[in-house]
Amino acid sequence: MSYTNILHSLGWLLVVLAAAMCLPIVNALANDERLALTGFLTGAMLTAFCGGGLVLLFRESRQALSSADQLFLVSIMWIVIAVFAAWPISQSLALPHGGHAIFEALSGITTTGFTLIEHLDEVPRSIILWRALLQWLGGVISIVAIAAVLAPQNIAGLGLRLTPLARGENVNALHRLGSTTREVFNLMAILTAACFFAVWASGVPAFDAFCLSLSTLSTGGFTPRDAGLSAYDAPFAQFWIVIFMLMGAMSFSMHRQIALAGIKETGRDPEFIYLMAMFLIAGAILSCWFLLQTDIKGASALAGGYFMAASMLSTSGFVPAGFEGVEVSPVVITALALLGGATMSTAGGIKLMRLALLLKQSSRELARLAHPSGIIPTQFGGRSFTIQTMKTVWAFFIAYIVVLGVVALAISLTEVDASHSLVASAAALTNVGPLYDMVTNNVEHGQSVRELHGGALWAISAAMILGRVELIAVLSVLSLNFWRR
């Protein structure tokens, strides 16, 4: 394993993180937030010093990143980023406890949306901006990791989504990472700008609209205010948030194809069709739930149902305005979160492509019972998939279920109710932290995430990382065979 190249790459990530702190620094200066300004200035200098030191120290490294190096890098980078990103949060006293600040930063960079901050309205605006920026950066990093590292290695069936976006123009892994990063960054920046102007024009203040646009495209779910979306008298803003949540849940290779060949490309992508079909069906189910089980009626129930469907499928976790205390079917929203959006997107969950492959393989096996000697070709998006691809998908599915249970067991050992432990595990593994509060707020003796003990938070932190990177990649790094090789 080439540790020099890994450290060199981590150095560049820290340099980017230090550069990202410049925006909150400007915001802190403008709002005269002296404590936060000190935290960001010292944090930026510390991060830039460590990152720049690694870049300069290993700048002569010429050995290419092997497959094992890449898997190790995408597994550990979340922890490294979270540790440095937590410094301003801790120093501003938004979360003075260092461990809590790291949890908050990790929740942001993995686009999960858990928060330990009790009163957002009392927190410096620069910290609110930093949380949103972390989610946006996490979205970019996760797409790059999937497209440039995991898809070329066909991790959990991702090889079927391998496109020019994933391959890049160069064979060298470092060059592929660079070219893919530039392309994903440009796509995300354009979509985020469009989301910002749409939400801002709908009546949301510019600062809040910017933070919401960062969290929406990354499907992260952080909101700038305690009241969530209810803080704004801007009903049309919710329409645009739904649109951009769905765009965040789309495969970014699909975005690239649309940019090159036009909107007609959406009809050729089965995952986009599955996403829209699930959105329409789930929206109808949740709308009926609100109509039959709550006091919300008419257009409000319809709008709330489809907003919640988009929020859960994209694993964003936003709650529509006026629905903060409304009971939602825990089974439906948890199932949608576990399902997730498209592969090679910022959404979490198992992903629609894998569910489709499992169903197609099941159908093929049933057909073989009637025709044992028959040749039954099966395709996804015009590409045939092999039994080896299906093995990786089945391995991912089984591992996902096992990890879900293990994390739930670990949380329950900290004296958390078993059902709450399972919901917390699902919320962390699907990267939709607000799911936990949506379910437990309407249950007797429900615990907020802020009431959980350190052991539970550690288990949730591990699950957030496993859910953000395709967990097979992280599990392979943790195996003995990986290190023996």
User: Rounded to whole angstroms, how far apart are CA atoms 410 and 370?
Assistant: 45
Tokens of 196: 């910002």
Instruction: Kindly report, residue by residue over 205-258, the tens digit of the pLDDT.
Output: 999 999 999 999 999 989 999 999 999 988 899 999 999 999 999 988 888 888
Instruction: Kindly report, residue by residue over 26-77, the tens digit of the pLDDT.
Output: 999 999 999 999 999 999 999 999 999 998 888 776 566 777 888 888 889 9
Rg (CA), the chain: 22
Instruction: Kindly report, residue by residue over 271-306, the tens digit of the pLDDT.
Output: 888 999 999 999 999 999 999 888 888 889 999 999
pTM: 0.91
Q: Residue 374: what pLDDT? A: 61
Instruction: Kindly report, residue by residue over 103-150, the tens digit of the pLDDT.
Output: 999 999 999 999 999 889 999 999 999 999 999 999 999 998 888 888
Residues with Cβ within 8 Å of residue 219, at least 6 apart in sequence: 111, 139, 245, 248, 249, 314, 315, 316, 341, 345, 346, 347, 348, 431
Q: Residue 256: what pLDDT? A: 80
Q: How confident is the model at residue 377 (pLDDT cuts 50, 70, 90)?
A: low
Provide the mean pLDDT of the chain.
86
Instruction: Kindly report, residue by residue over 145-181, the tens digit of the pLDDT.
Output: 888 888 777 777 777 666 544 444 445 566 667 778 8
User: Rounded to whole angstroms, how far apart are CA atoms 435 and 428?
Assistant: 9
Q: How confident is the model at residue 383 (pLDDT cuts 50, 70, 90)?
A: low
pLDDT > 60? residue 1 = yes
Q: Residue 443: what pLDDT? A: 53
Q: How confident is the model at residue 391 (pLDDT cuts 50, 70, 90)?
A: confident
Q: Residue 64: what pLDDT? A: 66
Q: Residue 453: what pLDDT? A: 80
Q: Residue 302: what pLDDT? A: 93
User: Counting Cβ atoms within 10 Å, is residue 329 exposed (0-12), middle (13-18) or buried (19+)?
Assistant: middle
**Percent of the residues in the chain that have a pLDDT greater than 70, as a whole number:** 89
Q: Residue 62: what pLDDT? A: 56
Q: Residue 170: what pLDDT? A: 45
